[in-house]
Amino acid sequence: MKRLNDIGLTNVFPAIARNKRSEYTSYYFAGDYADLINDNKFSNYLNYSSIRKAITLNVEGQTDYFYWKCYVPVIKKILHDVENVHNAITNY
């Protein structure tokens, strides 16, 4: 941490960064949660992610908590926003 402080950085950084421009909006994810193994046969059912979000516990050393409580809702929000922009453009 001293080395980071020496160059003016902290050891705290955002997990997700959004860059909003007039032409586009981009996102940077500081983790690799797209590769999280989900071998549950129920994962394609309606409301599965909502149920997992509700029952996932914050257990040290496991990435499930961040994945279900943050990553999945953010991805859903991004996709919803993209759909709204697409609809606004095509219905113009």
Backbone angle region of 8, left / alpha / beta, with phi > 0 → left and psi within -120 to 50 → alpha:
left
pLDDT tops 70 at residue 78? yes
Q: How many helices (H) and strands (E) does the chain have?
A: 4, 2
Please say if the pLDDT value at position 34 is more than 70.
Answer: no
Q: Look at residue 37 in the predicted model and tell me its pLDDT.
A: 64
The residue-averaged pLDDT of 8-36 equals: 83
Report pTM. Answer: 0.67
Q: The tokens of 74 are what?
A: 């953010």
Cα–Cα separations (whole angstroms), residue 2 to 5, 7, 8, 30: 5, 9, 10, 21
Query: In the structure, what pLDDT confidence band is assigned to residue 82 with cuts at 50, 70 and 90?
Result: very high
* Tokens found for residue 67: 């994945």
Q: Which two tokens stand for residue 66?
A: 């961040």
